[in-house]
Structures are given as structure tokens and as C-alpha cells.
Amino acid sequence: MAIQKSRSVLQHLIVPFLMTSAIITVAQNTSSANGITGKNYYVDCSSTPRSSIGTIEFPLHTIVQANAVQLKPGDALLFKRGAACHGQIHPQGSGNAQAPIRIGAYGEGALPRVEAGERDVSSIELFNQQYWEVSSLDLSGGTTYGVYVSGDQGQLHHFHFRDLHIHNVKGEMKHKESGLFVLNPSNKNASFEDVELDGIQAGYTTQWSGIFVQGAKHVRIHNCMAHDMQGDGIVVYEGKDAIISRSVAWHTGLQERETIGTPNAIWTWRCTDCVVEENEAFLTDTPSVDGGAFDVDYGNIRNTVRGNYGHDTAGYCVAVFGSSGVTTDSVVANNLCIGNGRSTRSAQHQGAILIMTWEGGTLEGVEISGNRIDWQPPGVSDVIHAGADLRASGIVLKGNEIWNSGDRFVAPSLKYKGSDNRYVVSSGITGDLESARRSLNTVFEQNATLTAAHSSSGSESVFGIKADDQSGWQLVATVPTEMLNGQGNELLRGLIVELKSAALQYSDAGLNVKLACDTNVAAAIKDWWDKDEKVQIEENSKSSAMEFSLRLLSPDGKEAQVWRSYPGPVELGLTLRQSLGRPVFSHLPFGEFAAKD
């Protein structure tokens, strides 16, 4: 559906009378990293109206004034920390490859707040503009979007967004191309190149998506959190060379009845050379079908889903789909799937891994390898499920470890090449083991093992998980300044997402999550912290003696697990599950964004 521009006619009539040419000539100069001189324009909406020329001494004091500035390559529009502005940021101009235009923060204190009005479509909009970098803002309001990037003319380049809190977007949902962050061309004449989202915290909306990116190539979505939306958590449509990594999505699919589609947490559609890796998804729901964690959807070419943790979902952990054409070379590898199929209906029709085609679609090449799956659905169903009338070739299952409370592991209709898979009946019932042995199709398997788990007074479950008392446990990350350099900084940001997720799921049941760091690290991550953050920061000025570690401490202070490098969501998630049991979700708020029966 084409999306129309949301420029305000009233704004264009008023702005020329409010601005003066002094803004262009007096604002302070700055230099970009490439040595190109630009100007900083300062905005303080808490200041007393006086001479508004965009300097620190005489800042602009309304968004209307800020929107009227004709920004040029290398310029920056900076909002004062601790202050709140009202309206929609719709800035003028484009940067270039050597000197993007920046929107960001200045001063000390909390993130600058931009609160869109009741009639504003979004809090930030860019249309037919390019070479922009936006960071360190708290954005709320808007009827359809939080951040909206669009265009209808040619290829638009370089859109980088970092450390944004986007929330409370309310309005009547009319299409999928809506939500907290939306980058989407308004017609087929436009596309995007070089899109990066890093540290986006997007939550609470009556619209469809947390993060929605369409029609773009060279896309990087990493270290983001998306939650409490009516449809999808994080999704890339019609992209090329896209990566979604080290991100978390939960409370997805909250729409009370299906009107425009069915949701998943993190997925791709018609995407070429796209990767979903080291993410976590849980508490997914759906008013109809889907409702899974991760999805290689139809029309995808060379897509990979690896190293992800999908748990406690209404539907599947991972799906591979084909429709109206061919989906080729799909890889589902090294994922951890626990507690999926919580919906009885979804479990019966999906399994933990769903392979499915419809409407003439086909699958050519599907590798499912190295995954660890704990399947305990309400009822008996296939762990790896094949949809009716599946049209597929080149399906390979190898090196997977699958625990099942029932006796059905692989759909009888699935034709595949299997090797080195380990199947475990976790019910402890002898009859289930014998039934599983009869149902497992040895024609397709080589070097497979089938065994039964033996429980002891109910204390042992799949993968050795125990439901221990969660109180008194500690998860402590120690981070030195050196981790701010190079790839270390990137892994630090991924670690922060993991700590936040662990605290979200376990802290109300007794887990204490801490980040021990020096003042440099604390300053570098300050824009990620809410005032009610569940992760505690402990600053230590003696950084020279610090080395990176992540330690899980038992209530008696003993080290249950120690990592000396970034563990990733699979390792951390499994360790927490084994030590503390199933997460406690009862405290998570829905508020006015919950599905209404």
C-alpha cells in the first residue's frame, strides 16, 4: 500500500514568518570527521523565548523553528538533554557521502524528549532525503509511526539511527507498514541503501511493527529491543544483504483478531543474502497462524537463521516457507528452541520447526543443522512439522539434538537426508520410547541415536534443566574500558541487550543483574539506561585491573558459570534456564496495548 507524505500544510504556512536568516549565519561552526565544516544548531524547548538564532547561548526553542532551518551537509541539529519538545521533527535538507547531517543531543542529563502531537503522524519524518544520522533521543507519540523514513524518487542513501527510545505510538491500524520505526518507500520508484539501526528500544504501539524496513540493501539492525506491538517485532521486506543480530523481541502479535496479516517476532520476506543471528524472541502470539520466533519466509534467497534463542512462543521456533515461487538455500543452524508451541492449536499445526509451501511455492535446499530443541507441547505433535502438500527438495537434517515429551520427532511425510541427529524421549515413559522408535523413519537417517531421559523425582528435565529457587542468584558482567575499542564495543552493546533481557525475565523472581564498569564505559552506555532500569550499574574507577567476564553466581556465592568472552543468547539463555528454570513472565506489563477480547 502506498503511504502518503505527512507534511503539515499549516507548518509550511507558519514557518517562514517565524524564522529569520540569522539562523543560517550565526549558528556555530563544527567540523565533520572528514574535515568538512558544518554548523551546529541547538534546540532547547525549555528555554525562555528570546533571540532564537540556534547557538548555545540563544538556542531555538520550538520544533517549528528547528524544522525551518535549511540544513546542509555536515550540519547538526542538537536537542538539549533533559528538555521536552512538542511536535514532529521534519527537518530540511540532505547530507552527502562525505558529510551526513546529524540529529542528536547536547548537554547533560536525560535524553531529549520529542513528544508528537495528537495530529502528528510521527515524531520524526524524512522524505526524499538522504545521508542522515539520528541518535540519542526519546521519541513518543504519533498516530501511525514513531520514526518514518520514506521517499518516491530513486535510491536514497545512508540512514543511521542509534540509541533511540521510541514508544507510545497510538492510532487506528490500517496497514502493515506502520509502527515504531518504519523505513518504507511510498512507491516502486524509490529504494534505500546503507541502513543501520543500533540500540533502538521500540515498545508499546497500537500499530503493526516494532521495526519495519522495506526496499533496502546493505541493512544492519543490531542491538535492538522491540516489544508490545500488534504484529511483527523486527522484519525486513524485499531487502538485500540484510543482517538482524543481537536483538530481542517479545510481546509480539497482540492484535485481538486478524485483519491485515499474521505476525512473527523476527523474520525476513523476499530477502536476498539475509542473516538473522544471535537474537532472542519470546512471548510471541497471534490471532490466527504464525506466532513464531523466527521465519525464513517465502521468496527468500540464501537466508540464514543461526545462533538464535527462541522460547516460550505460541507457535514455532523457526519456519521455512515457500509460496508463489521458489525459496532457495535456506539454513537453520545452531539455534536453541525451548518451550515453543504453548498454544495447543499452533503446536498441532506447526511443531518447533515448520517447513511449509502453498499456492505453487517450492523449497529448494533447506539445511537444518546443529539445533537444540526441547519440545514439550500441550499434546502430541511432530517436532519438525511438514505442511500439507509440501513441495520441497534438498532438505537436510544433521547434528541436531531434539528432546520431545512425546513420541513424534519428524513428520512421516517429510523426505529428507538425515545424519548424526540425537533424539531423546523426555517423558520417562517406556512406551513412548518404543513408539518413537517405530515412528522414526530410519530410511532417511544415518548415525542417529534414540534414547530415553531418566528423571529423578521430577528434578531433571530436558538438557538437565532444573526448576530451582531463583532468589539469591546474581549475573555480573565486568567490562573494562578496552572493550569500547573496535569490535569490543560492538560486542559490549550486544551484551547489554542480553543483560537487559535476562533482568526482564528473571529479576522479579530473584535474579540480581549487575554491570561493573569504569566511568568511561558508564558514560558510553548512558543513553541505553531508563530511570527504572533493572540492570544495576556499579562504577569502578580502577579500570586498569579489570578484565572482561560474565559470571553467574549461585545464592551461596559460588560461580555456576564464567564466560571470558561474549557468550551470545544461546549460551546465556540455556545456562540461565538450566540454573534458574523457566523465566517468570507474570510481572511484564501490557497496558493499553494488549489485545482486547
Judging by DSSP bridges, how do beta strands 512-517 and 549-553 pair with one another? unpaired
What's the rounded Cα separation, in Å, for the pair 180 and 168? 8
8 A C-beta contact, residue 287 and residue 257: yes
Give me the pLDDT at residue 35, please. Answer: 58
- pTM of the entire structure? 0.93
In the prediction, which pLDDT does 589 show? Answer: 81
Q: In angstroms, rounded to a whole number, what is the distance separating the alpha carbons of residues 482 and 432?
A: 53
What per-residue confidence (pLDDT) applies to 379? 85
With CA atoms as reference, report the closest residue to 228 among 207, 213, 214.
207
pLDDT the model gives residue 27: 53
Angle, alpha carbons 330-334-340 (nearest 5°): 90
Spatial neighbors of 565 by CB under 8 A, at least 6 apart, are: 548
**Amino acid in the structure at residue 49:** P
Q: Residue 4's pLDDT is what?
A: 37
Instruction: Name the 3-class secondary structure at 447.
Output: coil
Residues 550, 517: Cα–Cα separation, whole Å: 12
The amino acid that residue 271 corresponds to is C
Q: HEC states along 190-249?
A: EEEEEEEEEEEEEEEECCCEEEEEECEEEEEEECCEEECCCCCCEEEECCEEEEEECCEE
Query: What residues contact residue 398 under an 8 Å CB cut-off, 6+ apart?
Result: 367, 368, 369, 370, 417, 418, 419, 420, 421
Residues 6+ apart with CB under 8 A from 18: 62, 64, 65, 68
> Given this model, what pLDDT does residue 9 score?
30
The closest of 341, 310, 333, 337 to 501, measured between CA atoms, is 310
What is the Rg, in whole angstroms, of the alpha carbon atoms belonging to the chain?
A: 25
Cell of 176: 502493515
**C-beta of residue 322 within 8 angstroms of C-beta of residue 300:** no
pLDDT at residue 467, rounded to an integer: 52
* Beta strands 512-517; 445-446: pairing state: unpaired
CA 330 to chain centre: 21
Sorted by sequence, the CB contacts under 8 Å of residue 81 that are 6+ apart come out as 105, 106, 107, 108, 109, 110, 111, 112
Q: Inter-axis angle of helices 568-580 and 487-506, to 10 degrees?
A: 30
Residues 6 or more apart whose CB falls under 8 angstroms from that of 372 comprise: 335, 336, 337, 400, 401, 402, 463, 570, 574
Instruction: Please enumerate in sequence order all residues whose Cβ is within 8 A of that of 332, keeping only pairs 6 or more positions apart, or say none.
Output: 296, 304, 305, 306, 318, 320, 353, 366, 367, 368, 369, 371
Which pLDDT tens digits describe the chain residue by residue (597 residues)?
333 333 333 333 333 323 333 333 345 665 555 556 799 999 999 988 777 899 999 999 999 999 999 999 999 999 999 999 999 999 999 999 999 999 999 999 999 999 999 999 999 999 999 999 999 999 999 999 999 999 999 999 999 999 999 999 999 999 999 999 999 999 999 999 999 999 999 999 999 999 999 999 999 999 999 999 999 999 999 999 999 999 999 999 999 999 999 999 999 999 999 999 999 999 999 999 999 999 999 999 999 999 999 999 999 999 999 999 999 999 999 999 999 999 988 988 999 999 999 999 999 999 999 999 999 998 889 999 999 999 999 999 999 999 999 999 999 999 999 999 999 998 878 788 988 988 887 789 999 999 998 654 333 455 655 555 678 999 999 999 988 988 889 999 999 999 999 999 999 889 999 999 988 899 999 898 776 678 999 987 665 567 899 999 999 999 999 999 999 999 999 999 999 989 989 888 877 777 664
Q: Please, how many CA atoms are within 13 Å of residue 390, restricted to the half-sphere of its CB?
A: 21
Which residues, other chains included, contact 277 with Cβ-Cβ below 8 Å and sequence gap of 6+?
243, 244, 245, 304, 305, 306, 307, 308
Neighbours of 335 (CB within 10 A): 29
Distance CA 261, CA 269 (A): 13
CB 225 within 8 A of CB 497: yes
Q: Strand runs (DSSP E) across 411-455, as ranges?
A: 417-419, 422-425, 445-446, 449-452
